[in-house]
């Protein structure tokens, strides 16, 4: 569920409410992708100063450290003053003076990791190789084109890799390539400067729109306050195999790239 828009919508839904909270208790459930990396008692008494985002990570600035949260494939966060008792898929509860922050993650590809700060090797291992933020000034069309020129792989799996740009996942990669009119199988190195500029713009547009709409989901995404997203009502290609293209009515195609499904319109998107 969580690509950049969902993570950002989640962040916006609880960042202000949790700011200043004192951590009173932490309950861990089944193991997540990586171990917490510290004793629970090290967290107690610390304050949550702010919540930031880097790629698909949520970064909770604590008074003496940093908590990195990742939602994996199936994770969601809730924050509130009266959450129900932890269920079988609630694997991290942080009870604070302002409410409980809970990570719900059936598949457990998500993680909560403690680091002393962003320079901590633990944090660097997770954040150090991430590409540029797509909604920041640092994401520029020329630099993006330069990066594509050096890569032989197909553009769609490259977008998922997180080295050229972070935050674009399987849904928005297909959507952005549709908006840009580029076939997902096109070798990155063969994309011309104007087409790279179009893709650069499409990535920003699709992500900004998704954040504005409250995040997507094919199923059950909701933010930390329990409100659902609406993007699925407007997907141009994702999940629409065999259905008519919303622009030209040709049937949307579905293929596999790197074990992931890709959707595109063979008419609107050129190799």
Q: Name the nearest CA neighbour of 1 among 106, 85, 154.
A: 106
Q: How far is the CB of 144 from DNA (least distance, A)?
A: 15
Residue located via tokens 């659902």: 228
Q: Look-up: residue for tokens 């990535």? A: 203
254, containing H or E segment: strand 253-257
Q: Is 213 a catalytic residue?
A: no
Q: In the complex with DNA, which residue's Cβ is closer, 181 or 239?
A: 239
Residue closer to DNA, measured from CB, 22 or 151: 151
Contact 226, 82 (CB under 8 A): no
Question: Is 18 or 164 the residue whose CB approaches DNA more closely?
Answer: 164
Would you count residue 10 as binding DNA (CB under 7 A)? no
The answer to whether residues 228 and 221 touch, using CB atoms and an 8 Å cutoff, is yes
Is 260 a catalytic site residue?
A: yes
Distance CA 263, CA 271 (A): 14
Task: State which of positions 30-89 bind DNA (CB under 7 A).
Answer: 30, 33, 55-56, 70, 72-74, 88-89
CB of 1 to DNA, least distance (A): 3
CB-CB contact of 47 with 66 (8 Å): no
**Minimum distance from CB of 48 to DNA (Å)?**
22
For residue 35, what are its two tokens? 């171990």
187 is catalytic: no
Total chain residues near DNA (CB under 7 A): 42
Taking CB under 7 A as the criterion, which residues in 199-258 touch DNA? 216-221, 258
* 56 carries an active-site annotation: yes
Positions in 136-195 near DNA (CB under 7 A): 151-154, 157-158, 160-162, 169-171
Tokens standing for residue 160: 């998922």
CB 13 within 8 A of CB 80: no
Round the CA-based radius of gyration of the chain to a whole number and report it.
Answer: 19
Coil/strand/helix, residue 161: helix
CB of residue 22 to DNA, shortest distance in Å: 29
Q: Min. distance of Cβ 262 from DNA in angstroms?
A: 9
Active site amino acids: 2-3, 56, 260
In the complex, the residues that contact DNA under the rule CB under 7 A are 1-3, 6, 30, 33, 55-56, 70, 72-74, 88-89, 106-109, 126, 129, 151-154, 157-158, 160-162, 169-171, 216-221, 258-261
């Amino acid at each position: 569920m969580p690509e950049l828009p969902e993570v950002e919508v989640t962040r916006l839904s609880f960042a202000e409410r949790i700011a200043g909270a004192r951590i009173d208790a932490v309950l861990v459930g089944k193991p997540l992708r990586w171990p917490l990396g510290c004793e629970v008692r090290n967290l107690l008494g610390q304050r949550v100063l702010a919540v930031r985002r880097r790629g698909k990570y949520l970064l909770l600035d604590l008074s003496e450290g940093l908590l990195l949260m990742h939602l994996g494939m199936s994770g969601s966060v809730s924050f509130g003053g009266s959450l129900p008792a932890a269920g079988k898929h609630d694997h991290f509860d942080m009870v604070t003076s302002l409410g409980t922050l809970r990570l719900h993650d059936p598949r457990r590809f998500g993680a909560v990791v403690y680091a002393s700060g962003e320079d901590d090797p633990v944090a660097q291992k997770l954040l150090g190789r991430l590409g540029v933020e797509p909604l920041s000034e640092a994401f520029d069309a020329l630099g993006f084109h330069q990066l594509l020129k050096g890569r032989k792989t197909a553009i769609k799996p490259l977008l998922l890799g997180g080295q050229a740009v972070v935050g674009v996942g399987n849904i928005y990669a297909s959507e952005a390539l549709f908006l840009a009119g580029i076939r997902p199988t096109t070798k990155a190195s063969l994309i011309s400067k104007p087409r790279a500029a179009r893709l650069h713009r499409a990535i920003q547009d699709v992500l900004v729109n998704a954040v504005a709409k409250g995040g997507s989901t094919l199923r059950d995404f909701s933010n930390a306050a329990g409100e659902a997203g609406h993007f699925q009502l407007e997907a141009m290609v994702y999940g629409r195999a065999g259905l008519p293209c919303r622009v030209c009515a040709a049937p949307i195609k579905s293929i596999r790239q790197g074990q992931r499904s890709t959707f595109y319109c063979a008419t609107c998107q050129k190799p």
